[in-house]
Amino acid sequence: MTIDTPDPQAVCSPITSSAIFIVATLNAGTDAEARVKGWCGDLAGLVRSVGKRVPAGNLSCICGFSSSAWDRLFGSPRPASLHPFREFGGAGRHAPATPGDLLLHIRADQMDLCFELATQIMIALGDAVTVVDEVQGFRYFDMRSIIGFVDGTENPVGRKAVNFTIVGDEDPDFSGGSYVLVQKYLHNMNAWNELSVEAQERVIGRKKLSDIELDETVKPSNSHSALTTITTAQGEEVKILRDNMPFGRPGAGEFGTFFIGYARSAEPMEQMLENMFVGKPPGNYDRLLDFSTAVTGGLFFVPSADLLEELADR
């Protein structure tokens, strides 16, 4: 399907070496609302100003709003598929919903660019928001996660990336936008490293060194890759765009993955979570969750770059 849309934010930009993820809540009061709305019109200028200092640094910032924040700041009309984050699973395997009105996904090939832009954004927002989560992510060798496997292998590229992530004429008021789901996972590396490489490969569904997917005849149905592959009733695969980043503090024994997925609607990402945390069929859950714990969760809508600037005057 050909999509004729306003300019999107930098959703489909190449994955970079560094990123900062900020999730914030909107403080009470009309002054806070006015400040955030005014900032919407200033963000593009901030990115340009900081990015000019290192033109080859590929600096960008994607901004998204939660369902409740959209209603409070902008009212109607609202994105058709925007709703609060859906929790999945139960005791032992739970995908929790955590507070968050505003998501900032800042990325560049240098952490100093990310750091400077984040600093300038927080100065501009001031006391209008309260940061509830901030993660500095980094590229780990050849795009590997902390657990040692390549991440994002099946990401769509080029026109396919646009078709799978950017809203089109199904919601014309919000064409050029995208939905983004974020979760922070902490990994039990001691337990994970006690597994043999072959056992780890069965958990993930891929070879660890070569990144080649295991043959369907030997890949377990509860492997991560099996449960996160989504197909339509017609058998066509529905992809999302992942820009996950490892993070951690070795001195504190903290090792994690910040999951961030972009899609044209929330549905495929939520189906993946249901498959992982509930199981397909129920009980056949993602074995990776025996070693990884989700500690945050949020769903946001990313308006087009054009709409983001217009929202300052709504």
Task: For CA atoms 314, 9, 225, 290, give the dihedral sign.
Answer: negative
The whole-angstrom separation of Cα 200 and Cα 188 is 13
Measure the CA–CA gap between 215 and 237, rounded to whole angstroms: 18
Q: How far is CA 18 from CA 96, 102, 136, 142, 245, in A?
A: 26, 20, 8, 13, 8
Q: Are 297 and 214 contacting, i.e. CB atoms less than 8 angstroms apart?
A: no
Side chain identity at 17, as an amino acid letter? Answer: S
Active-site choice (101, 151, 243, 286): 151
Nearest C-alpha neighbor of 285 from the set 232, 235, 243, 223:
223
Rounded distance between C-alpha atoms, residue 34 and residue 32, angstroms: 5
Sorted by sequence, the CB contacts under 8 Å of residue 35 that are 6+ apart come out as 125, 126, 128
Q: Which amino acid is at 116?
A: E
User: Cβ of 313: how many Cβ atoms within 10 Å?
Assistant: 9
Active-site residue flag, 306: no
Q: Which tokens in the block code for residue 107? A: 């990325």
The set of catalytic residues is 151
